[in-house]
Protein backbone atom coordinates (compact mmCIF):
# COMPACT_ATOMS: atom_id res chain seq x y z
CA UNK A 1 0.00 0.00 0.00
CA UNK A 2 1.08 3.52 -0.70
CA UNK A 3 0.93 5.49 2.53
CA UNK A 4 -1.64 7.84 1.06
CA UNK A 5 -2.62 9.42 -2.25
CA UNK A 6 -4.17 12.86 -2.08
CA UNK A 7 -5.66 14.52 -5.16
CA UNK A 8 -6.11 18.28 -4.93
CA UNK A 9 -8.95 19.86 -6.86
CA UNK A 10 -11.09 23.00 -6.95
CA UNK A 11 -11.96 26.01 -9.02
CA UNK A 12 -9.27 27.78 -11.05
CA UNK A 13 -7.14 30.08 -8.89
CA UNK A 14 -8.43 28.61 -5.61
CA UNK A 15 -4.90 27.76 -4.46
CA UNK A 16 -4.50 24.08 -5.46
CA UNK A 17 -0.92 24.38 -6.69
CA UNK A 18 0.19 26.56 -3.77
CA UNK A 19 -1.25 24.10 -1.26
CA UNK A 20 0.02 21.03 -3.12
CA UNK A 21 3.57 22.36 -3.34
CA UNK A 22 3.62 23.47 0.29
CA UNK A 23 2.21 20.15 1.52
CA UNK A 24 4.81 18.32 -0.58
CA UNK A 25 7.76 20.26 0.80
CA UNK A 26 6.55 20.06 4.43
CA UNK A 27 5.87 16.32 4.25
CA UNK A 28 9.25 15.69 2.63
CA UNK A 29 10.89 17.67 5.44
CA UNK A 30 9.01 15.47 7.93
CA UNK A 31 10.77 12.47 6.38
CA UNK A 32 8.14 11.17 3.95
CA UNK A 33 9.03 10.05 0.45
CA UNK A 34 6.85 12.38 -1.57
CA UNK A 35 5.76 12.01 -5.18
CA UNK A 36 4.19 15.17 -6.56
CA UNK A 37 2.29 14.77 -9.80
CA UNK A 38 1.51 17.82 -11.90
CA UNK A 39 -1.81 16.74 -13.39
CA UNK A 40 -2.61 20.11 -14.93
CA UNK A 41 -2.30 20.41 -18.69
CA UNK A 42 -1.17 23.96 -17.98
CA UNK A 43 1.59 22.79 -15.67
CA UNK A 44 3.06 25.01 -12.96
CA UNK A 45 3.71 22.80 -9.93
CA UNK A 46 7.46 22.81 -10.72
CA UNK A 47 8.11 26.48 -9.95
CA UNK A 48 5.87 26.30 -6.86
CA UNK A 49 8.09 23.48 -5.58
CA UNK A 50 11.28 25.30 -6.45
CA UNK A 51 12.12 23.63 -9.75
CA UNK A 52 12.47 25.99 -12.68
CA UNK A 53 12.93 25.27 -16.36
CA UNK A 54 16.60 26.19 -16.16
CA UNK A 55 17.23 23.59 -13.46
CA UNK A 56 15.56 20.94 -15.58
CA UNK A 57 11.85 20.42 -15.23
CA UNK A 58 11.04 16.77 -15.93
CA UNK A 59 9.79 15.89 -19.39
CA UNK A 60 6.16 14.91 -19.70
CA UNK A 61 5.13 11.35 -18.86
CA UNK A 62 4.97 9.62 -22.25
CA UNK A 63 1.64 8.11 -23.19
CA UNK A 64 3.46 4.91 -24.25
CA UNK A 65 3.67 4.11 -20.51
CA UNK A 66 -0.01 3.18 -20.43
CA UNK A 67 -1.34 -0.35 -20.74
CA UNK A 68 -5.13 -0.41 -21.02
CA UNK A 69 -6.41 -3.13 -18.71
CA UNK A 70 -9.88 -4.32 -17.84
CA UNK A 71 -9.67 -2.53 -14.46
CA UNK A 72 -8.41 0.71 -16.07
CA UNK A 73 -5.06 2.12 -17.20
CA UNK A 74 -1.89 0.64 -15.61
CA UNK A 75 1.80 1.30 -16.25
CA UNK A 76 3.91 -0.80 -18.60
CA UNK A 77 6.91 -0.33 -16.26
CA UNK A 78 7.24 -0.47 -12.47
CA UNK A 79 6.62 2.71 -10.50
CA UNK A 80 10.29 2.82 -9.50
CA UNK A 81 11.45 2.65 -13.11
CA UNK A 82 8.98 5.36 -14.09
CA UNK A 83 10.12 7.61 -11.24
CA UNK A 84 13.80 6.97 -12.02
CA UNK A 85 13.30 7.82 -15.67
CA UNK A 86 10.77 10.61 -15.57
CA UNK A 87 10.87 12.34 -12.17
CA UNK A 88 12.95 15.36 -11.27
CA UNK A 89 14.12 15.61 -7.68
CA UNK A 90 12.85 18.93 -6.31
CA UNK A 91 14.15 20.59 -3.10
CA UNK A 92 13.72 18.50 0.09
CA UNK A 93 13.74 15.38 -2.11
CA UNK A 94 10.21 15.71 -3.51
CA UNK A 95 9.93 13.73 -6.74
CA UNK A 96 8.06 15.66 -9.41
CA UNK A 97 6.47 14.14 -12.51
CA UNK A 98 4.41 15.97 -15.07
CA UNK A 99 1.38 14.93 -17.09
CA UNK A 100 1.64 15.69 -20.79
CA UNK A 101 0.44 19.05 -22.07
CA UNK A 102 -0.42 20.14 -25.61
CA UNK A 103 2.73 20.99 -27.55
CA UNK A 104 1.01 22.41 -30.62
CA UNK A 105 -2.31 23.98 -31.51
CA UNK A 106 -4.81 21.43 -32.90
CA UNK A 107 -2.98 18.60 -31.09
CA UNK A 108 -6.29 17.01 -30.18
CA UNK A 109 -7.61 15.78 -26.87
CA UNK A 110 -5.52 14.86 -23.84
CA UNK A 111 -7.19 11.54 -22.99
CA UNK A 112 -3.92 9.60 -23.22
CA UNK A 113 -2.06 12.13 -21.08
CA UNK A 114 -4.75 11.83 -18.39
CA UNK A 115 -4.48 8.02 -18.67
CA UNK A 116 -0.75 8.17 -17.78
CA UNK A 117 -1.63 9.89 -14.49
CA UNK A 118 -4.46 7.48 -13.83
CA UNK A 119 -2.06 4.54 -14.45
CA UNK A 120 0.64 5.98 -12.19
CA UNK A 121 -1.89 6.62 -9.41
CA UNK A 122 -3.19 3.04 -9.76
CA UNK A 123 0.27 1.46 -9.68
CA UNK A 124 1.41 3.53 -6.71
CA UNK A 125 -0.97 1.20 -4.82
CA UNK A 126 1.56 -1.57 -4.93
CA UNK A 127 4.37 0.46 -3.40
CA UNK A 128 4.67 0.82 0.35
CA UNK A 129 6.37 4.09 0.91
CA UNK A 130 5.19 7.12 -0.98
CA UNK A 131 2.97 10.00 -0.03
CA UNK A 132 1.50 11.00 -3.37
CA UNK A 133 0.10 14.45 -4.06
CA UNK A 134 -1.74 15.02 -7.33
CA UNK A 135 -2.27 18.64 -8.39
CA UNK A 136 -5.30 18.68 -10.67
CA UNK A 137 -6.68 21.18 -13.14
CA UNK A 138 -9.81 23.19 -12.44
CA UNK A 139 -12.15 21.27 -14.71
CA UNK A 140 -14.04 18.40 -13.05
CA UNK A 141 -12.95 16.25 -16.00
CA UNK A 142 -10.42 14.49 -13.78
CA UNK A 143 -13.44 12.84 -12.17
CA UNK A 144 -15.28 12.02 -15.38
CA UNK A 145 -12.07 10.71 -17.00
CA UNK A 146 -10.96 8.80 -13.91
CA UNK A 147 -7.61 10.62 -13.60
CA UNK A 148 -8.13 10.91 -9.84
CA UNK A 149 -10.06 7.66 -9.37
CA UNK A 150 -7.24 5.99 -7.47
CA UNK A 151 -6.83 8.72 -4.88
CA UNK A 152 -7.54 7.93 -1.22
CA UNK A 153 -8.47 11.53 -0.50
CA UNK A 154 -9.92 14.24 -2.72
CA UNK A 155 -8.99 17.57 -1.18
CA UNK A 156 -11.22 20.33 -2.52
CA UNK A 157 -9.78 23.82 -2.21
CA UNK A 158 -12.49 26.47 -1.88
CA UNK A 159 -12.37 30.22 -1.59
CA UNK A 160 -15.03 31.99 0.45
CA UNK A 161 -17.33 32.93 -2.41
CA UNK A 162 -20.31 31.14 -3.83
CA UNK A 163 -19.00 30.04 -7.25
CA UNK A 164 -15.88 28.54 -5.71
CA UNK A 165 -17.92 26.68 -3.11
CA UNK A 166 -20.35 25.48 -5.76
CA UNK A 167 -17.45 24.13 -7.82
CA UNK A 168 -16.27 22.19 -4.77
CA UNK A 169 -19.78 20.87 -4.13
CA UNK A 170 -20.12 19.68 -7.74
CA UNK A 171 -16.81 17.85 -7.57
CA UNK A 172 -17.73 16.32 -4.21
CA UNK A 173 -20.96 14.98 -5.65
CA UNK A 174 -19.10 13.45 -8.62
CA UNK A 175 -16.50 11.99 -6.25
CA UNK A 176 -19.28 10.33 -4.26
CA UNK A 177 -19.87 8.13 -7.33
CA UNK A 178 -16.25 6.91 -7.26
CA UNK A 179 -14.26 4.71 -4.89
CA UNK A 180 -12.42 7.72 -3.42
CA UNK A 181 -12.76 7.13 0.32
CA UNK A 182 -12.52 10.63 1.73
CA UNK A 183 -13.60 13.95 0.26
CA UNK A 184 -12.70 17.03 2.29
CA UNK A 185 -12.80 20.78 1.78
CA UNK A 186 -10.02 23.15 2.74
CA UNK A 187 -10.97 26.81 2.97
CA UNK A 188 -8.32 29.06 1.41
CA UNK A 189 -7.78 32.82 1.28
CA UNK A 190 -9.90 33.47 4.37
CA UNK A 191 -9.64 37.17 5.31
CA UNK A 192 -11.93 37.09 8.34
CA UNK A 193 -13.89 34.89 10.70
CA UNK A 194 -16.91 35.63 8.50
CA UNK A 195 -15.18 34.06 5.53
CA UNK A 196 -14.49 30.95 7.52
CA UNK A 197 -18.02 30.83 8.92
CA UNK A 198 -19.49 31.09 5.41
CA UNK A 199 -17.45 28.10 4.26
CA UNK A 200 -18.19 26.14 7.44
CA UNK A 201 -21.92 26.80 7.02
CA UNK A 202 -21.82 25.74 3.36
CA UNK A 203 -19.98 22.52 4.24
CA UNK A 204 -22.41 21.79 7.03
CA UNK A 205 -25.40 22.30 4.77
CA UNK A 206 -23.99 19.98 2.11
CA UNK A 207 -22.52 17.44 4.55
CA UNK A 208 -18.97 18.07 3.45
CA UNK A 209 -16.00 17.58 5.77
CA UNK A 210 -14.13 20.86 6.38
CA UNK A 211 -10.56 19.77 7.10
CA UNK A 212 -8.68 23.05 7.28
CA UNK A 213 -8.66 26.80 7.02
CA UNK A 214 -5.89 28.78 5.39
CA UNK A 215 -5.73 32.57 5.71
CA UNK A 216 -5.27 35.04 2.90
CA UNK A 217 -1.73 36.39 2.95
CA UNK A 218 0.05 38.92 0.77
CA UNK A 219 3.20 36.88 1.23
CA UNK A 220 1.75 34.15 -1.02
CA UNK A 221 1.45 36.70 -3.82
CA UNK A 222 4.90 38.09 -3.02
CA UNK A 223 6.40 34.59 -3.16
CA UNK A 224 4.78 34.11 -6.58
CA UNK A 225 6.10 37.46 -7.78
CA UNK A 226 9.59 36.56 -6.55
CA UNK A 227 9.34 33.15 -8.27
CA UNK A 228 10.07 31.37 -5.00
CA UNK A 229 8.31 28.53 -3.17
CA UNK A 230 6.20 29.83 -0.29
CA UNK A 231 7.85 27.43 2.14
CA UNK A 232 11.19 29.17 1.49
CA UNK A 233 9.88 32.71 1.09
CA UNK A 234 7.73 32.79 4.23
CA UNK A 235 8.38 29.53 6.03
CA UNK A 236 7.33 30.93 9.42
CA UNK A 237 4.19 32.60 8.07
CA UNK A 238 0.55 31.87 8.83
CA UNK A 239 -0.16 30.12 5.52
CA UNK A 240 2.64 27.58 5.90
CA UNK A 241 1.55 26.98 9.52
CA UNK A 242 -2.02 26.35 8.36
CA UNK A 243 -0.83 23.94 5.65
CA UNK A 244 1.24 22.08 8.27
CA UNK A 245 -1.92 21.66 10.36
CA UNK A 246 -3.75 20.47 7.27
CA UNK A 247 -1.04 17.85 6.65
CA UNK A 248 -1.51 16.58 10.17
CA UNK A 249 -5.24 16.16 9.63
CA UNK A 250 -4.87 14.48 6.25
CA UNK A 251 -2.31 11.82 7.06
CA UNK A 252 -3.43 8.88 9.16
CA UNK A 253 -1.44 9.20 12.38
CA UNK A 254 -0.43 12.77 11.55
CA UNK A 255 2.29 14.25 9.37
CA UNK A 256 5.14 13.19 11.66
CA UNK A 257 4.64 9.45 11.16
CA UNK A 258 7.28 9.00 8.44
CA UNK A 259 9.99 7.20 10.34
CA UNK A 260 7.76 4.36 11.59
CA UNK A 261 9.01 1.04 10.24
CA UNK A 262 6.40 -1.07 8.50
CA UNK A 263 5.84 -4.79 8.23
CA UNK A 264 5.70 -6.38 4.78
CA UNK A 265 1.92 -6.00 4.96
CA UNK A 266 2.32 -2.27 5.34
CA UNK A 267 1.11 -2.23 8.95
CA UNK A 268 3.06 -0.07 11.41
CA UNK A 269 5.02 -2.25 13.82
CA UNK A 270 3.61 -1.98 17.34
CA UNK A 271 5.72 -1.08 20.33
CA UNK A 272 7.92 -3.93 21.55
CA UNK A 273 7.23 -4.69 25.22
N1 LIG B 1 -3.71 31.81 0.99
C2 LIG B 1 -3.48 32.63 -0.03
N3 LIG B 1 -3.37 33.97 0.18
C4 LIG B 1 -3.17 34.83 -0.85
N5 LIG B 1 -3.03 34.45 -2.12
C6 LIG B 1 -3.11 33.12 -2.40
C7 LIG B 1 -3.34 32.15 -1.38
N8 LIG B 1 -3.35 30.92 -1.96
C9 LIG B 1 -3.14 31.11 -3.27
N10 LIG B 1 -3.00 32.43 -3.55
C11 LIG B 1 -2.76 33.06 -4.86
O12 LIG B 1 -3.84 32.72 -5.71
C13 LIG B 1 -3.38 32.54 -7.04
C14 LIG B 1 -3.77 31.15 -7.53
O15 LIG B 1 -3.08 30.19 -6.76
P16 LIG B 1 -2.75 28.74 -7.36
O17 LIG B 1 -2.15 27.95 -6.26
O18 LIG B 1 -1.97 28.86 -8.63
O19 LIG B 1 -4.23 28.26 -7.68
P20 LIG B 1 -4.76 27.02 -8.58
O21 LIG B 1 -3.65 26.01 -8.68
O22 LIG B 1 -5.95 26.53 -7.82
O23 LIG B 1 -5.16 27.61 -9.90
C24 LIG B 1 -1.88 32.76 -7.02
O25 LIG B 1 -1.63 34.11 -7.37
C26 LIG B 1 -1.51 32.53 -5.55
O27 LIG B 1 -0.38 33.27 -5.17
MG1 LIG C 1 -2.78 25.12 -10.35
Q: Please indicate, yes or no, if residue 269 is contained in any of the structural domains.
A: no
Q: Which residues surround ligand 1 with Cβ inside 6 Å?
A: 10, 12-18, 188-189, 214, 216-217, 220-221, 224, 239
Q: Please indicate, yes or no, if residue 68 is contained in any of the structural domains.
A: yes
51-65 in b/e form (b: 16+ CB < 10 A) is beeeeebbebbebeb
Nearest CA to ligand 1 atom 15: 15
Q: Please report which ligand is nearest the Cα atom of 48.
A: 1
Distance between Cα 68 and ligand 2 center (Å):
28
pTM of this structure: 0.90
Q: Please indicate, yes or no, if residue 268 is contained in any of the structural domains.
A: no
CATH (domain of 158): 3.40.50.300
Nearest CA to ligand 1 atom 14: 13
Strand partners, 193: none
Distance between Cα 263 and ligand 1 center (Å):
39
Q: Please indicate, yes or no, if residue 261 is contained in any of the structural domains.
A: no
Q: Please indicate, yes or no, if residue 259 is contained in any of the structural domains.
A: no
Give the 3-state secondary structure of residue 80: helix
Nearest C-alpha neighbor of 96 from the set 53, 156, 127: 53
Going residue by residue through the chain (273 aa), what tens digit of pLDDT does each one get?
A: 348 999 999 999 999 999 999 999 999 999 999 999 999 878 899 999 999 876 677 778 888 888 888 778 888 889 999 999 999 999 999 999 988 666 656 566 667 778 888 889 988 865 578 999 999 988 777 776 677 788 999 999 999 999 999 999 999 999 998 889 999 999 999 999 999 999 999 999 999 999 999 999 999 999 999 999 999 999 999 999 999 999 999 998 888 865 554 444 444 433 333
> Which of 12, 14, 15, 22 to probe ligand 1 with, by most ligand atoms within 8 A of CB?
15
Ligand 1 atom nearest to 218, measured from its CA: 4
DSSP letter string, 151-182: -SEEEEEE-SSHHHHHHHHHHHHHHTTSS--E
Q: Please indicate, yes or no, if residue 266 is contained in any of the structural domains.
A: no
Question: Mind listing the pLDDT tens digit for each residue in 205-222?
Answer: 999 999 999 999 999 999
Q: Please indicate, yes or no, if residue 250 is contained in any of the structural domains.
A: yes
- The boundaries of the domain holding residue 200 are 4-254
Distance between Cα 56 and ligand 1 center (Å):
24
Distance between Cα 226 and ligand 1 center (Å):
14
Distance between Cα 13 and ligand 1 center (Å):
6
Q: Please indicate, yes or no, if residue 221 is contained in any of the structural domains.
A: yes
pLDDT at 271: 36
pLDDT at 33: 93
The number of distinct structural domains making up the chain is 1
Residue ranges of E strands in the chain:
4-10, 33-39, 66-69, 72-75, 88-89, 95-98, 130-136, 153-158, 182-190, 209-215
Amino acid sequence: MSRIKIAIAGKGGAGKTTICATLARLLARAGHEVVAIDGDSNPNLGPALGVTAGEGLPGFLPTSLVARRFEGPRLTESVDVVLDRFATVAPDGVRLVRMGAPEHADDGCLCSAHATVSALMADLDTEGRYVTLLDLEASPEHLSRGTARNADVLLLVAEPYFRSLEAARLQASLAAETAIGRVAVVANKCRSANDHDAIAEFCDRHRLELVGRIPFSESVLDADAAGRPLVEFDGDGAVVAAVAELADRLLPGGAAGAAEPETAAGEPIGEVV
